[in-house]
Amino acid sequence: MKAKAFFLPLIFLSFSFSLFSQEVDELIAQADELYTIMNNITTAEKALDLYMKAMEKAENKYEVFWKLSRLLYFLGFHKESKKEKRAIFLKGIYYAKKAVELKPEMPEGYYWLGVSYGVYGEARGVLKSLFLLDDVKRAMDKVIELDQSYANGGPDRVLGRVYFKVPGFAGGSKKKSLEHLLKSLEFAPNYPLTRYYLADTYLALKEVNRARKELDFILNMESDDRWISGVNINKREAKKMLKKKQFRKNM
């Protein structure tokens, strides 16, 4: 009888933990589903709420941390106010750091940490944020070491954009930008954001025909309004870029 009395609480605790874990998994799954279809702030904020609830309940928070950072990137990107953007991206940095601390052998935390540093720096202003450059590079170098193909060739895409945006005196280089973007393209030839960044870099290098080719590629893609696909967003940006005087001269 004593043995039964001892094991019954253990069975109950095990069962409770199983239900608790299942609840966390369901919250994450629901948030993931919203993340994949989101094309507006409302959907993104619903996903954020679910991830936050999962974080409060989860024992192993790694997956929630990096997914929070990933979502906050998209949420901040689509906010109009720079003040709001900075606040959101700072949270993204916080959660990505937490993910890196928990699993330094995995690429997700480093990637979204580097991305969050980069967009936070843009929201502050590039010249005001040059001190973040090394942080972005270190994070992306680590992702390249762990999984260079992660996020559709993400680390090289980020580095390509960083070298494009940063002025030459601070280490920027259009040639290095091109090298990284072409490497990124090898992993995901149909990813529109890489193509858009390539067009921008080609234009800066005065390779107008190559820039136009990249923009035409984007404009010929099948429409997709999901934020994570980037298709419709980059279609709009491609149309804007084609209005630049460099293209008009080459007509």
Find the CATH number of the domain harbouring 75: 1.25.40
Domain of 244, in residue numbers: 178-251
Instruction: Say whether both 46 and 141 belong to one domain.
Output: yes
Total domain count, the chain:
2
Q: Is residue 115 part of a domain?
A: yes
Alpha carbon distance 112, 106 (integer Å): 12
Q: Torsion angle of alpha carbons 19, 24, 28, 34, nearest 10°?
A: 80
191, part of any domain: yes
pLDDT, residue 247, reads 84
For residue 96, tell me if it sits in a domain: yes
- Tokens 């099948």 correspond to 222
The answer to whether residues 123 and 188 belong to one domain is: no
For residue range 20-76, list pLDDT tens digits in order: 567 889 999 999 999 999 999 999 999 999 999 999 998 889 999 999 999 999 999
Same domain, yes or no: 216 and 129: no
pTM value surpassing 0.85: yes
| CA–CA gap between residue 50 and residue 22 (Å, rounded) | 14
Low-confidence ranges of the chain (pLDDT < 50): 1-8, 10-19
Helix (H, G, I), strand (E, B) or coil at 192: helix
